[in-house]
């Protein structure tokens, strides 16, 4: 498919993907796709990533139920990054992170009382991860 | 600095960075940082990236004037992606892309009249790139 070849794939045949919640604008997660993952995402209208840790296609939500409905697929000016606008579905909508939080970007760099910088979790856990992945 | 070591750097000593406009929520660009770039970003309050093409630190806006004021720095649950919330400054505020557009993510996958998928530029050029980079 020609449109897939417009993308500059990494040497591993991957492209980085940003998933942004359509309604809130929140950046929910960052993952990777290969050609097949992107083709299936476009076909299915749901996010299908390439799991680098498991080395296989990963239909987001296949275990957690936290499927991402895809509204649009964009590429950047270098054609080497994909931006999805999605709705985060599931039994408890709006949970993208495996920690049970809304977004994977929940740690923020803050300055502590002693003047040091440190990462602090600033967003709440909405659902116990143990109950998300219990089979 | 300890907080830098919380990040999982690539083998090349880099981390991917998403720049999101604070007020609009728009994802404006995607780039990379090394430790020094991230440390300087935190210190300066302006985005400093690592340019992989030029192989040097890149204080965004150093040529174009399109500096990014940094409001917050977050990392994701794997500590291997950084999310900046920024304000896109400059003579003409709100232009992040070297093409003169608001965002680098201006091409969207659409279905054409003959049923084929194709990328289409869907955002306007706000300023002629030739006038951005003219010295």
- Which residue is closest to A23 within chain B, CA to CA? B25
Residues of B in contact with A8 (CB under 8 A): none
Chain A: closest CA distance from residue B85 (Å): 10
Tell me the whole-structure pTM to 2 decimals.
0.95
| B91 has pLDDT over 80 | no
Side-chain half-sphere CA neighbours of A51 within 13 A: 10
- CATH number of the structural domain spanning residue B59: 3.10.20.810
Instruction: Tell if the CB–CB gap between B30 and A81 is shorter than 8 Å.
Output: yes
Please give the torsion angle defined by the CA atoms of residues B58, B64, B69 and B72, in that order, rounded to the nearest 10 degrees. -50
Question: What pLDDT shows up at residue B61?
Answer: 92
10 Å Cβ neighbour count for A38? Answer: 27
Q: How confident is the model at residue A134 (pLDDT cuts 50, 70, 90)?
A: low
**Residue A59 CB: number of other CB atoms within 10 A?**
16
B26 is in an annotated binding site: no
Domain housing B58: 3-99
ipTM value, please give it. 0.95
Please check whether residue A13 lies inside any domain of the structure: yes
Comparing CA positions, the residue from A62, A56, A55 lying closest to residue A47 is A62
Nearest CB partner across the interface for B3, out of A29, A30, A119: A119
What pLDDT is attached to residue A90? 84
Domain count, chain B: 1
R_g of chain B, CA atoms, integer Å? 16
Q: How far is it, in rounded angstroms, from Cα B35 to Cα A9?
A: 25
Confirm whether A37 is domain-assigned.
Answer: yes
């Amino acid at each position: 498919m020609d449109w897939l070849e417009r993308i500059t794939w990494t040497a591993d045949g991957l492209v980085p993907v940003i998933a942004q919640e359509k309604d809130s604008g929140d950046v929910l997660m960052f993952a990777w796709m290969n050609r097949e993952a992107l083709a299936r995402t476009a076909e299915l209208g749901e996010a299908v990533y390439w799991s680098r840790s498991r080395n296989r296609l990963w239909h987001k939500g296949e275990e957690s139920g936290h499927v991402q409905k895809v509204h649009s697929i964009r590429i950047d000016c270098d054609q080497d990054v994909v931006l999805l606008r999605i709705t985060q579905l599931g039994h408890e909508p709006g949970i993208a992170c495996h920690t049970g939080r809304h977004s994977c970007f929940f740690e923020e760099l803050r300055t502590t009382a002693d003047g040091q910088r440190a990462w602090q979790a600033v967003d709440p856990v909405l659902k116990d991860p143990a109950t998300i992945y219990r089979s």
